[in-house]
Structure 1
Amino acid sequence: MLYPSIDKLTAKAESKYTLVTIASKRARQIRENSAVQVDKPKSKKFVGQALEELIEDKLIHDTIDSRK
């Protein structure tokens, strides 16, 4: 079983594509010596750590409505 689950993650972002963009940007920041905001991450990989931050509401992202 994957942690965090995709169902809970998609509830945090508008789409899977947005989720991928958010996670990849944060993973790059973590890789470049940024501290992980989760106390004891379950994942050893940067993308997994970024997703854990998102699911625990440690990572905030802004939405832009392009329909205007």
Structure 2
Amino acid sequence: MILEPSIDKLQTKINSKYTLVTLAAKRARQIQDTKIHQVESPKAATYVGIALEEILEETLIVDPEYKMMKE
């Protein structure tokens, strides 16, 4: 079974696997709660899959100014 989108394609959009997983998980929870997504016709059957499709289509991006550090 081949999963789409592939990790190689996703890492061209977000190069950190940690960031990719965190972003997809948070977005999947939002999609689950609101039932609203930004993909025209998603191929994925799961919320995480839809979130990953959003990342691949660049409708979901990481703010480069966001810092995950404690002050």
Could you tell me the TM-score, scaled by structure 2's length? 0.82
* Aligned counterpart, 1:36: 37
Partners of 1:53 and 1:65 in 2: CA distance: 22
**Secondary structure in 2 aligned to 1:58?**
coil
How many residues get paired?
66
How many angstroms does 1:33 deviate by? 1.2
Name the amino acid aligned to 2:36: A
The percent identity for this pair of structures is: 55
Q: Return 5+ residue gaps in structure 1 as ranges.
A: none
Q: Which amino acid aligns with 2:16?
A: S
Q: Give ranges in structure 2 of 5+ residues lacking alignment.
A: none
Deviations 1:29-66 (A, max 9, x none): 00001411111101110000000001011112212467
Task: For 1:47, give the aligned amino acid.
Answer: V
Aligned position for 2:58: 57
2:24 & 2:67 partners in 1: Cα distance? 20
In the alignment, the residues of structure 1 paired with residue 56 and residue 46 of structure 2 have an alpha-carbon distance, to the nearest angstrom, of 16
TM-score with structure 1 setting the length: 0.85
